Structure 1
Amino acid sequence: MYNRPPLVPPPPPQPPSHNMIFDGHWSSGLCDCFSDVSNCCLTCWCPCIPFGQIAEIADKGTTSCAVHGTLYTVLLIFTGCQWIYSCMYRSKMRQQYMLPEEPCNDCCVHFCCEPCALCQQYRELKHRGFDMSLGWHGNMERKNLGVVMPQFSPVEMRR
């Protein structure tokens, strides 16, 4: 008689890994705002909140979301030139993640379509595994507890 080996169940499916290699392109387009409707609405009605969250993560927690959001609001109310401040953080984020400067330079993107630019940056950080509501320190605590976090580009590793 033929003796078959016992059946071994396949390993359980693994959750998707955030340690994927990013190809140096934005995960979504500048005008894909409606792919995340809640973020789109928040950015249109109260841009200081998503900007503060983006800036805190881009600064790696050296300044809080509240400080960035407040500065953004003061610039918006008193000068209307908040786009210059937010443009700097787009440039910083692009350098950290080696993203192309498209469709035009960062200042033009923020001057012409500030809400779209902020939405795109927010979506990019979410795509890279950040929980925007936790801020930088909350994401780092989550990482230290063993939750999978995004890989950082080699540029960030230099000192």
Structure 2
Amino acid sequence: MSNQMVVMQPQPNMVSRHSDQWESGICDCCNDVPECCFAYWCLPCFTCVKAKKFGECLCLPLLDFFGMVPPITMSIRVSMRQRYGIKGNMCHDCLLVTFCRACVWCQMSREMKARDLQITLVGARHL
């Protein structure tokens, strides 16, 4: 007869402290003045850095500067809304990225900072 010991480890639950809204408004540039200055003085560089941080190709945003509606900014914004569970629609996103591109990138940058390490593990034990 064999005695087998079965050990069940508790699984951590991930709880987000964020809502289904953007953490900051589209015109809240005063919340992060250095980032907004960088965006306004060198938008192509800023967009490349932020796209890389979001996990996309470094030079992908440079394709935005050849058309009326910037498709890369639009797709990254929609992807960010989906990743973070932010409510919104593509029509509103399209208007914002067409007329307020720098503000949109600043808002997305603030969102990545706000949601970067703000996940709390409930039920996890420290060894």
User: TM-score if structure 1 supplies the norm length?
Assistant: 0.56
2:23 partner amino acid = S
Post-superposition Cα deviations, 1:82-133, rounded to whole Å, max 9, x if no partner, equal 722111000000000011227x62111100100111100000111113xxxx
SS of residue in 2 equivalent to 1:105: helix
User: TM-score if structure 2 supplies the norm length?
Assistant: 0.69
* Identity score, percent: 30
SS of residue in 1 equivalent to 2:26: coil
Structure-2 separation of matches of 1:30 and 1:123: 10
Calculate the aligned-residue CA RMSD, in Å. Answer: 2.5
**Residue 48 of structure 2, aligned match among 47, 52, 64:** 52
Of structures 1 and 2, the one with the larger relative CO (CA 8 A, separation 6+) is: 2
| Higher strand proportion (structure 1 or 2) | 2
Give the gaps of 5 or more residues in structure 1. 1-18, 130-148, 153-159
Q: Does 1:93 align with 2:66?
A: no
Check the 8 A contact 1:50/1:122 in 2, yes or no.
no
Check the 8 A contact 1:54/1:122 in 2, yes or no.
yes
How far has the Cα of 1:20 moved from its partner? 4.6
Q: Does 1:84 align with 2:84?
A: no
How far has the Cα of 1:51 moved from its partner? 2.0
Structure-2 separation of matches of 1:71 and 1:58: 12
1:33 partner amino acid = C
Structure-2 separation of matches of 1:119 and 1:112: 14
